[in-house]
Structure 1
Amino acid sequence: MLASELAEPYPTVGLGSSAVEAARLLTEHHRPALVVVDEHDHPVAILPGSQVLRLVIPGYLQDDVKLASVVDDSFVDQMCDALVGKTVAELLPRDHDDLPVVRPDDTVLEVAVLMVVERSPLVAVVDGPGKTAPMIGAITLTTVLREILPERLGERGATEPR
């Protein structure tokens, strides 16, 4: 199967979009990540949901996970305030790599390999070379797994989860 056949429309956010808008898109569309686009709607980065969560969770809790057990619900309710006034650009890791992209004629295996190498749950499908190529959709990890791990698992004697 080719990337063009696996690609689907996918929500995007701009670099200047609010972090709150990005969090809403992630949750409303049940997505693991968002495609970040520039002012010309060309894809430039992937924003994993974990990066949004990283801004919400205070650093001292990230440093000592055990502290999370003593935090009360009123504090949890206020944690999302950390997103207010922040932009998507501020959520992206400073050392974020180039956007993982595939071409329409790439195979599902090429897509899967790129996801593994880039550690990305999402790749953009672009129609042409270079960073100014228009995005025609995106492919999620779930879509790739569904394609490469179909009924064959049952044929090999795999068991269902308990």
Structure 2
Amino acid sequence: MRAEEIAEDFPTIGINSNALDAARMLAEHRLPGLLVIDESGRPHAVLPASQVVRFLVPRYVQDDPSLAGVLNESMADRCAEKLSGKRVVDVLPEHLVDVPPVDADDTIIEVAARMARLRSPLLAVVKNRRLQGVITASRLLGAALKP
């Protein structure tokens, strides 16, 4: 099975888009992540939902999760304010920037190997330098587990 056979249409967001809009898109559509495109419409990065959550949680709470229990609700309600005024490029994880897309002719094993190495929830699929779609980890697993 080839990458183009399991690629699907998937929401994208521009690199300079509002980070809060990206977070809303992730939440509203229950997405594992978003494909970030550059100004020319080419795949540039992957923004995992988990990275956006990580950005919202103060560093000191990440370092000591027991502190999460002492934060009051008003503090939790203000977490989204951290995204205010930020662009998508400001919240991208370094290891998922300039992620090379997989080729439409790549096998699902090649796709799985890259996805595992990058720890990415999705990868862009291109053919002749044109975006064909996206493969999510769940879609890849579904294809790999078919009898």
Aligned AA (1:11): P
Measured after TM superposition, the shift of residue 46 of structure 1 is: 0.7
Measured after TM superposition, the shift of residue 134 of structure 1 is: 2.0
Q: 2:140 aligns with which of 131, 139, 144?
A: 144
| Larger RCO (alpha carbons 8 Å, 6+ apart) | 2
User: TM-score under structure 2 normalisation?
Assistant: 0.93
Cα distance in 2, alignment partners of residues 96 and 120 from structure 1: 7
Match of 1:38 in 2: 38
Query: Mapping of 1:8-157 within 5 angstroms?
Result: 8-94=8-94, 96-128=96-128, 133-150=129-146, 152=147
Measured after TM superposition, the shift of residue 16 of structure 1 is: 0.7
Percent identical pairs in the alignment equals: 46
Point out where structure 1 has 5 or more consecutive residues left out of the alignment: 153-162
User: TM-score under structure 1 normalisation?
Assistant: 0.85
Q: Does the aligned pair in 2 maintain the 1:41–1:134 contact within 8 Å?
A: no
Provide closer, same or farther for how the CA distance between residues 80 and 46 of structure 1 changes in structure 2, counting only shifts above 3 A.
same
Q: Does the aligned pair in 2 maintain the 1:125–1:137 contact within 8 Å?
A: yes
> How many residues matched?
147
Hey, which bits of structure 1, 4+ residues long, moved more than 2 A? 93-98
* Greater Rg over alpha carbons, structure: 1
Provide closer, same or farther for how the CA distance between residues 118 and 41 of structure 1 changes in structure 2, counting only shifts above 3 A.
same
After superposition, the CA RMSD in angstroms is 1.4
Secondary structure in 1 aligned to 2:39?
A: coil
Q: Does the aligned pair in 2 maintain the 1:100–1:118 contact within 8 Å?
A: no
Q: Does the aligned pair in 2 maintain the 1:16–1:89 contact within 8 Å?
A: yes
Measured after TM superposition, the shift of residue 149 of structure 1 is: 1.7
Q: Does the aligned pair in 1 maintain the 2:96–2:118 contact within 8 Å?
A: no
Cα distance in 2, alignment partners of residues 16 and 31 from structure 1: 20
Cα distance in 2, alignment partners of residues 74 and 149 from structure 1: 44
Match of 1:159 in 2: none
Measured after TM superposition, the shift of residue 93 of structure 1 is: 2.7
Aligned AA (1:139): I
Cα distance in 2, alignment partners of residues 95 and 111 from structure 1: 17
